[in-house]
Chains A and B, each alone.
Chain A
């Protein structure tokens, strides 16, 4: 696994892809490599992009990537789509919009399913960001599942979070209000050639006025027409402005610290859950406890205390 870490650091696509798979599958052989690459991370600017289905996220990412490439920057893209809770499978289609980009060797695109995790991300996303970062990507874009109000986890991982809305999606602003709208570092009103754009701009701007009052940075609200490539260079500027703002105000460190905290929590959670539910020592115990709970001989709290007691001893 020594080998795979150095290959990743050299930017070898197959190794990057393979390590991502191992990390995603919680394969123990990934841990060594992840340890080795961590010192080489921290350089990439991580951009999180969220928004409802139909807001044009994938096209926007495609255009952003084209822009970054023109400036000589390398880009990693993580496109996340929902995993079916029934079958455990997923249809990962975001890549369709970016097919030509994938053949540029300075662009790496990976499609991932949420695999049961709520919040719009997948639990392996922290690993994948680190892998792409360590492989030398200047920019890492995380495209979340954008369906509504629960998809806010992106702020834990991104340095800069973009929230995309479109005019005429009815009450899109209203429904997004609780939580999702507030996570934006930059708002983008895409498909700005659609009717209703003035109203949407007004709604977003009034939201910004309220939520940013008293703060030292006012969240910018931009218009884009991604499929025509309009408004993209302005967006790239604002993203860079935000990054500089983070560095200047030391918000950057706070942000990164938040990410590492989330990552640490996730690693511990996975290890713990794995240990408790998959290791055979506890399997029998858990089956027995579940039987007892079903028969109302024991309540779930007591059962949990019993298991945790064994671990914490």
Chain B
């Protein structure tokens, strides 16, 4: 009857800047999605365990500390290892343009940096969700 898009918004690693993650979480909620917000200091294992139990359609990762090439890739690889190939990964924060192709190769479908209109993220998710 009613199928909601379920999105996990996670902050991996030590970065404590959560303004963006919270704003995006609210925007997704306002767009009719169910958003599970994990809070700060998540390890890749915690993110993936949550993604499994909550059966999410989307994993959203937010990082402003520069550690994205390690931590986002950890999450992407672990999701793949656990067989969650139908989950799309989107990312935001401070991510230099030159790192984006590498992230995409690891399975991160969309990267939304500073100044991205929230509607763009919403539309991207709606269009790319796999189930």
Q: Which residues of A line the B interface, CB within 8 A?
A: 13-14, 16-18, 20-21, 25-26, 83-84, 87-93, 95-96, 99-100, 102-103, 108-111, 113, 115, 270, 274, 278
Hey, what's the 0/1 contact readout for B77-88 against A, CB within 8 Å counting as 1? 000001100000
A89/B49 contact (C-beta < 8 A), A25-B3, A99-B38, A278-B1 known:
no
Q: Which residues 1-40 of B have a CB within 8 angstroms of A? A: 1-4, 6, 25-26, 28-39
User: Which of A21, A95, A103 lies in contact with B45, CB distance below 8 A?
Assistant: A103
**B54 and A99 within 8 A (CB):** no
The residues of A that contact B70 with a CB separation of less than 8 Å are none
Residue of B nearest to A89 (CB): B29
Can you give 19 contacting A-B residue pairs, CB < 8 Å?
A13-B53, A14-B83, A17-B55, A20-B55, A25-B3, A89-B32, A89-B33, A89-B34, A90-B34, A91-B25, A92-B35, A92-B36, A93-B36, A99-B38, A99-B39, A99-B42, A99-B46, A102-B49, A111-B36
Residue of B nearest to A90 (CB): B34
**B30 and A95 within 8 A (CB):** no
CA distance A171 to B76 in the complex (A): 49
**B1 and A91 within 8 A (CB):** no
User: Which of B4, B26, B38 lies in contact with A91, CB distance below 8 A?
Assistant: B26
CB distance from A127 to the nearest CB of B (A): 13
Where chain B touches its partner, the secondary structure class is mixed
CB distance from A39 to the nearest CB of B (A): 24
User: Which of B3, B30, B38, B55 lies in contact with A84, CB distance below 8 A?
Assistant: B30
**A14 and B52 within 8 A (CB):** yes
CA distance A102 to B42 in the complex (A): 12
CB distance from A85 to the nearest CB of B (A): 11
Give the top 7 A-B pairs by smallest Cβ distance, nearest first. Answer: A96-B39, A89-B29, A17-B55, A88-B32, A26-B1, A89-B32, A21-B55
The residues of B that contact A88 with a CB separation of less than 8 Å are 2, 4, 32
The residues of B that contact A26 with a CB separation of less than 8 Å are 1-2
**B37 and A92 within 8 A (CB):** yes
CB distance from B82 to the nearest CB of A (A): 8
The residues of A that contact B37 with a CB separation of less than 8 Å are 91-93, 96
Among the interface residues B29, B45, B46, which one has the most CB atoms of the partner chain A within 10 A? B29
Residue of A nearest to B25 (CB): A91
Known: A17-B52, A102-B46. 15 other contacts (CB 8 A): A17-B55, A18-B55, A87-B30, A88-B32, A89-B4, A89-B34, A90-B29, A95-B38, A96-B37, A99-B42, A102-B49, A102-B53, A103-B46, A111-B36, A278-B1
CB distance from A231 to the nearest CB of B (A): 25
CA distance A70 to B46 in the complex (A): 21
